[in-house]
Amino acid sequence: MPSRIMLNPGDIATLDLTDPRTHAEYDLSEVWRHLRTTQPFHWHPSIGGAPGFWVVSRHADVSEIYRDNKR
């Protein structure tokens, strides 16, 4: 299996997380680490007519969101 390309965390503004090729071709480990540390809630802008969405990168935050059934 060929190695995936390592991305710089600063590239998050130009990444299309909706594209499966992004996840197949690039190693996003440093990007996720950077987001968890500095920006655990990241707004991914609308791309190609699809709506934008929030990226929640910390497990504890995701768990809390899923348990919150009042909002």
Domain that includes residue 38, residue range: 5-67
Give the number of domains in the chain. Answer: 1
> What is the reported pLDDT for 1?
54
Of 67, 70, 55, the C-alpha closest to 16 is 55
16 Cβ neighbours under 8 A, 6+ residues apart? 22, 47
> What is the reported pLDDT for 52?
96
Q: pLDDT per position in the chain (71 positions), as tens?
A: 567 888 777 888 889 999 999 999 999 999 999 999 999 999 999 998 889 999 999 999 999 999 998 87
> What is the reported pLDDT for 62?
96
> What is the reported pLDDT for 2?
64
> What is the reported pLDDT for 12?
86
How far is the CA of 48 from the CAs of 3, 30, 52, 55, in angstroms?
28, 26, 10, 18
